Structure formats: structure tokens, C-alpha cells
Amino acid sequence: MKLWRLHPSDTQLEDTQIFQDICDALSDGKLVAIPTETVYGLAADATNGKACASIYEAKGRPSFNPLISHIDSLEAAQTHAFFDDRALKLAEAFWPGPLTLVLPKRPTSPVSDLAVAGLETIALRVPRSDVMRALCKHTGRPLAAPSANLSGRISGTTAEDVINDLKDHLSYLIDSGATSVGVESTIVSLVGKRPTLLRPGGLAREDIEAVLGETLVRAGTDDSAPMAPGMLTSHYAPNSHIRLNAEDVAEGEALITFGANLPKGSDKAAKLVPLSDSEDLTEAAARLFTALRQADLGENGKIAVMPIPHHGLGEAINDRLARAAAPRD
């Protein structure tokens, strides 16, 4: 891991060699810890599924929460999501700043399925941090960045916190001292009928309500409010019935494969959808949501999934598959 210490008086960051090197590392799918005004972010190219998988791997997250994509401007944000009048008002009032907007994702957005956990919505934020915005702009990519800490630990607000938790996973750490806001961004969803507070954070609810001219519903408290963050991972599920740890395949089933040793009956499968032929769990995680969608045969369809090992990212993959296979009402 290489360390870049920034000082408040530093300007023209883009002209330095290390800035260029960090852009190259991000474009190459590497992980970089970047300070924002809220907390330090563990950043990777949001359009690269494998890079996003390595975020979950580094954090040791046992499930795939969708990630916030950071961009450098409202204009860039509009290429990824549909903005209605409320979204425009909030973005104009509070960006750059500690507000994340959850919006309908444009089908043309290149943000990976894993970054949005297979959802048709996307969480976007233009941060106040100059270096984060400059990196988004110069790489030309949205950067997915959850807090730079191990899963279950508190969010890192200093470079020392980040080093303690993640140093072996990072190619660069940008140190600009303690973050100014110190708590995560406020997350507002504009996907349902009523604007909904998904997570309180660095921007006060009252400030948001003043601009919107209406109150924010708390997640999950109202039929018109989208689900709370913890419930999100159970949101997307294929229509087909799912059978896990399949040791054989029945005629007409779609088979999600892992590794090259296919089970009995594979030749009769309706389709084969590989997660990773080389048994690489990072690749499998990156492909998971796309694979579920591709394997889906509709209402009376059946999907069989080969066993996935439980170690490393396998835990999160199996968690997601178990949710997808759980009986629904």
C-alpha cells in the first residue's frame, strides 16, 4: 500500500504523478482508500463487477449491501439515474455534500449489477471532497465507496483507522487528516411515492424537508416507503424456483455453474449460466446478480445452483442465494 499525504494548502492535485498513478490503479480495478467529508471511503470502479467484489472481500461483509456510487457532478449523475423535480431540487441545494439520493437507475448506466445488488435503483452522491471528485472526473468512472472499515467495525474517520482495518487490501491510501463531518451521508430514496429517509446522516432531515416542502417518511413505516436498508438485499429475487447445492440437474432446469465439473444431467439443462469456471469466488460474486437474471425462466421455471464454497466471498454469495431461494408469500 502506498500512502499519499495531502495538506489543506495542496492545490493542482491532478498535476501530480501520484494522482495519475491512483487514477491508473482505479481504472485497473484496484482498491484505494479516499477521504470524503463524511468518512474515509473504500473506493473502486463502480462499473467493474470484480473490483466491487473485492470491496466486499476486503471489508469481510457477509452480505451484498448495495454500494453508493460517487460522481463528480450533477451532470454525471444524470447519466446514471432519472432525476425528477424533487431529485433536482435536492441535488442543486446539497451537492456537493453529505446527501445520497436513491433514484431509478437508467438502463444505460454502466454501473455493475453487483454495485446495486441487482436492484433497479442506484444510490448516487457528489461528495464535497475535492480529491474524490477529481478522481471520479479524471478516471471518467463512478467510484463505489462504502466506509473504509472492516464489516461490523465503526467507520474510519482517520487514515490510522483505515490502516488498522484494511492496509493489506489497498493499493493506495490518501491521507487528508480527520474527516470533517465524521458520520456517513444521509440517504434519501425518491423511488417510492413519498420521499423516504433510508439512513439519517451528516445532513439534517429538517434541511432536506425545508427544500422539498414536505416531510420525509421513515423507511418501512408506510406502504409508500421503500424498504429499510437491512431489508434491501431480499428485494431482488428471480421468479423461478431456486434449488441450492444441486448435485444433479432435472430436465428443463437452468443451471448456475461453479467450476468446470458439471453435475449429472447438465446436458438436459435449459441453459447453463457460469459464475466462474475457474472457481474464483471474486469472479463469482461479480457475476452473481447478472447470472440470477440470466438464469431466470419465469413464473414456473426452475433454477438449480451448484454448491458454492463457504469461505471468503462464498459466505456473501451463499447468503444472497439463500434469500433468493427462500419461500415467498
Q: Closer to ligand AMP at the Cβ: 35 or 274? A: 35
Residue 80: how many CB atoms within 10 A of its CB? 22
Nearest approach, Cβ of residue 203 and ligand AMP (Å): 14
Residues from 155 through 194 that contact Mg ion (CB under 5 A): 155
Stretch in the footprint of Mg ion (CB under 5 A) among 64-72, 113-121, 125-133, 144-152: 144-152
Identify what 22 binds: Mg ion, ligand AMP, none; CB under 5 to 8 Å per kind: none
Identify what 122 binds: ligand AMP, Mg ion, none; CB under 5 to 8 Å per kind: ligand AMP
- In order of 21, 57, 127, 279, 322, the CA distances from 71 in angstroms are 19, 23, 8, 33, 33
Identify what 97 binds: ligand AMP, Mg ion, none; CB under 5 to 8 Å per kind: none
104: exposed, middle or buried (Cβ count in 10 Å: 0-12, 13-18, 19+): middle
Report DSSP letters for 311-327, one per residue: STTHHHHHHHHHHHHS-
Residues from 81 through 120 that contact Mg ion (CB under 5 A): none
Q: Which residues contact 16 (CB under 8 A, 6 or more apart)?
A: none
Identify what 142 binds: ligand AMP, Mg ion, none; CB under 5 to 8 Å per kind: none
- Which residue, 186, 190, 189, 134, is CA-closest to 6? 134
- Which residue, 127, 23, 16, is CA-closest to 71? 127
User: For binding to ligand AMP (CB under 6 A), which residues are involved?
Assistant: 65-68, 102, 116, 119, 121-123, 146-147, 184, 187, 198-199, 229, 232
Residues from 253 through 272 that contact Mg ion (CB under 5 A): none
Q: Closer to ligand AMP at the Cβ: 121 or 257? A: 121
Taking CB under 5 A as the rule, does residue 147 contact Mg ion?
yes
Q: Closer to Mg ion at the Cβ: 151 or 290? A: 151
Identify what 123 binds: ligand AMP, Mg ion, none; CB under 5 to 8 Å per kind: ligand AMP
Q: Phi/psi of residue 99, each to 5°? A: -125, 125
Q: With contact defined as beta carbons under 8 Å apart, do 22 and 138 qualify?
A: no
Classify residue 302 by its DSSP letter.
E
Q: Closer to ligand AMP at the Cβ: 142 or 238? A: 142
Query: What is the binding site for Mg ion (CB under 5 A)?
Result: 147, 155
